[in-house]
């Protein structure tokens, strides 16, 4: 294997996390930092792109300095400088890639324009995460706030999409449902927390597309059913137990939908070595357990901190791309829309 000439710096700034990490050429994490902008956005109930871009701008330099200091590296020592170039919010992408390109130009080190989805897709291959590293091809369920896809990872830069969401992404469904329940943004972790005290069988919510062929997803009907259920209850703040029961019922419906779609995908592509789940929703314990049961082959889920947005995954994708002999010129653009199949 062709190891990069030195450690790789990764930068993530596509949404509401500003992150930097340095990984050794073999994938060991030498330093990592994530600055979550939740406090900046929570008053608005979602990510405000301009606020996000400004926060990236004010935080990124400090985070990069910290990870370089902690890992004992200078820009000149690096094997490559990798930044998320899309998909994502253009302001943040410009901040991260502008920084990375400037550092690459000044130090003469290679620049890598990383697709955020590919970074999520390859994280499970980071050495030391699981007992086994998935070998190509493997099936990826990408379950995040902006994306919900079922993809066969054929190799670095080679992806076959089997299905995608027809409406909301699964994390978006969690966030919108959590908002209906009066929970703070981001809703996924808060919903999971209250669901622990809830009865998942209390409210029989719909499971869109269940038992239908294919690997597409749909969540908007489920979210609407929760809205109608809440509207049918006595007005005023929801009693704690009712909110917990709705949260648990919603989570069970999502788990059933995902397990059903996974079964269809495995029927199509029985040759995959493993099932990998990635993206913020993959941090959810109930969903992990349900998908482990449904997979019937190794299910690999990175630790929660590497499921949500981070820079370790960006640096690792950079290392994988360097191995494959792929680097980018400084003219490589930011791509707010950048499907995996276009790689
Ligand atoms: O991958 P990610 O950090 O950002 C992108 O969207 O790219 O995913 C964030 C999403 C949010 O919708 C958040 O509510 C959801 O992941 N999430 C969870 C959990 N942790 C994060 N959803 C359900 N359960 C969780 N424990
Ligand atoms: Zn993400």
Whether 87 is covered by a domain: the verdict is yes
Whether 62 is covered by a domain: the verdict is yes
Give the C-alpha separation, 141 to 105, whole Å.
Answer: 36
CB 35 within 8 A of CB 76: no
Note the pLDDT of residue 3. 62
Number of domain units in the chain: 2
48-57 pLDDT tens trace: 999 999 999 9
Measuring CA to CA, which residue among 63, 70, 61, 8 is closest to residue 36? Answer: 63
297, 316: one domain: no
Ligand 1 atom nearest to CA at 16? 4
Distance 284 CA to ligand 1 centre (A): 9
Residues in Cβ contact with 45 at an 8 Å cutoff, skipping those fewer than 6 apart:
179, 185
Ligand 1 atom nearest to CA at 278? 1
pLDDT band at 87 (very low <50, low <70, confident <90, very high): very high
205, 153: one domain: yes
- Which residue owns the Cα nearest ligand 1 atom 8? 280
End-to-end Cα separation, the chain, in angstroms: 22
Note the pLDDT of residue 129. 84
pLDDT band at 238 (very low <50, low <70, confident <90, very high): confident
Whether 168 is covered by a domain: the verdict is yes
- Establish whether residue 12 lines the binding site of ligand 1, counting it when its CB lies within 6 angstroms of any ligand atom: no
Residue of higher predicted confidence among 162 and 44: 162
Note the pLDDT of residue 5. 85
Whether 3 is covered by a domain: the verdict is no
Note the pLDDT of residue 41. 87
User: Which residues have their alpha-adjacent CB atom under 5 A from ion ligand 2?
Assistant: 144, 309
Beta strand residue intervals within the chain, DSSP E: 8-12, 17-23, 29-36, 80-86, 111-115, 138-143, 148-155, 158-164, 275-278, 299-300
155-189 pLDDT tens trace: 999 999 999 999 999 999 999 999 999 998 889 99
Strand partners, 152: 139, 160
CB 55 within 8 A of CB 42: no
Whether 247 is covered by a domain: the verdict is yes
Distance 279 CA to ligand 2 centre (A): 5
249-270 pLDDT tens trace: 999 999 999 999 999 999 999 9
219, 328: one domain: no
Out of 140, 143, 174, 304, give the residue to mutate to test ligand 1, the one with the largest number of ligand atoms within 8 Å of its CB: 174
Percentage of the chain lying above the pLDDT 70 cut: 99
pLDDT band at 132 (very low <50, low <70, confident <90, very high): confident
Whether 133 is covered by a domain: the verdict is no
228, 104: one domain: no
- Establish whether residue 138 lines the binding site of ligand 1, counting it when its CB lies within 6 angstroms of any ligand atom: no
Out of 171, 189, 279, give the residue to mutate to test ligand 1, the one with the largest number of ligand atoms within 8 Å of its CB: 171
Residue 91 above 70 pLDDT? yes
Residue 327 above 70 pLDDT? yes
- On average, the pLDDT of the chain sits at 95
Give the C-alpha separation, 106 to 179, whole Å.
Answer: 45
287, 331: one domain: no
Lay out the sheet containing 80-86: strands in order across: 29-36, 17-23, 8-12, 80-86, 111-115
Distance 229 CA to ligand 2 centre (A): 30
Token pair 């357990």 in the structure block, residue: 289
Strand partners, 84: 114
Measuring CA to CA, which residue among 328, 329, 277, 332 is closest to residue 306? Answer: 277
DSSP 89: -
- Establish whether residue 146 lines the binding site of ligand 1, counting it when its CB lies within 6 angstroms of any ligand atom: yes
Q: Is 45 exposed, middle or buried (0-12, 13-18, 19+ CB in 10 A)?
A: middle
pTM: 0.93
147, 196: one domain: yes
90, 227: one domain: no
Whether 2 is covered by a domain: the verdict is no
Note the pLDDT of residue 2. 57
Give the C-alpha separation, 309 to 297, whole Å.
Answer: 26
CB 280 within 8 A of CB 106: no
CB 86 within 8 A of CB 337: yes
Omega of the bond leading into 94 within 30 degrees of 0 (cis)? no
143, 93: one domain: no
Distance 108 CA to ligand 1 centre (A): 36
- Per-residue pLDDT averaged across 6-34, rounded? 97
pLDDT band at 276 (very low <50, low <70, confident <90, very high): very high
120, 148: one domain: no
202, 249: one domain: yes
143, 249: one domain: yes
Out of 41, 281, 284, give the residue to mutate to test ligand 1, the one with the largest number of ligand atoms within 8 Å of its CB: 281
Ligand 1 atom nearest to CA at 171? 12
Out of 280, 287, 311, 340, give the residue to mutate to test ligand 1, the one with the largest number of ligand atoms within 8 Å of its CB: 280
pLDDT band at 97 (very low <50, low <70, confident <90, very high): very high
Residue 326: CB atoms within 10 A of its CB come to 15
Give the C-alpha separation, 10 to 80, whole Å.
Answer: 9
Residue 4 above 80 pLDDT? no
- Establish whether residue 272 lines the binding site of ligand 1, counting it when its CB lies within 6 angstroms of any ligand atom: no
E strand or H helix at 302: none
Range of the domain at 203: 138-301
Helix count (H) and strand count (E) of the chain? Answer: 11, 10
Residue 202: CB atoms within 10 A of its CB come to 15
């Amino acid at each position: 294997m062709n190891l990069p000439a030195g450690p790789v710096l990764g930068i993530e700034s596509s949404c509401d996390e500003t992150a930097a990490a340095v990984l050794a050429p073999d994938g060991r994490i030498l330093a990592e930092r994530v600055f979550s902008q939740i406090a900046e956005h929570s008053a608005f109930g979602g990510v405000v792109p301009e606020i996000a871009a400004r926060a990236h701008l004010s935080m990124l330099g400090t985070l990069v300095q910290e990870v370089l200091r902690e890992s004992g590296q200078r820009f000149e020592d690096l094997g490559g400088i990798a930044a998320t170039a899309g998909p994502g919010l253009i302001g943040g992408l410009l901040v991260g890639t502008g920084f990375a390109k400037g550092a690459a130009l000044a130090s003469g080190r290679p620049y890598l324009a990383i697709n955020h989805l590919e970074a999520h897709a390859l994280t499970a291959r980071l050495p030391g995460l699981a007992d086994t590293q998935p070998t190509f091809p493997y099936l990826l369920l990408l379950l995040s706030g902006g994306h919900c896809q079922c993809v066969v990872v054929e190799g670095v830069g080679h992806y076959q999409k089997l299905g995608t969401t027809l409406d909301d992404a699964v994390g978006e469904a969690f966030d919108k449902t959590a908002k209906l329940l009066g929970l703070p943004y981001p809703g996924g972790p808060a919903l999971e927390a209250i669901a622990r005290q809830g009865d998942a069988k209390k409210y029989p919510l719909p499971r869109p597309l269940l038992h239908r062929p294919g690997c597409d997803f749909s969540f908007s009907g489920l979210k609407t059913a929760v809205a109608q259920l809440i509207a049918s209850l006595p007005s005023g703040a929801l009693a704690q137990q009712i909110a917990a029961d709705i949260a648990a019922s919603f989570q069970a419906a999502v788990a059933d939908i995902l397990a059903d779609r996974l079964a269809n995908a495995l029927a199509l592509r029985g040759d995959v070595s493993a099932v990998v789940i990635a993206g913020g929703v993959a941090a959810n314990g109930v969903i992990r357990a349900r998908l482990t049961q449904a997979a019937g082959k190794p299910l690999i889920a990175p630790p929660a901190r590497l499921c949500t947005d981070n820079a370790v995954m960006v640096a690792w994708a950079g290392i994988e791309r360097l191995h494959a002999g792929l680097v980018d010129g400084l003219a490589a653009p930011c791509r707010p829309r950048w499907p995996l199949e276009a790689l």
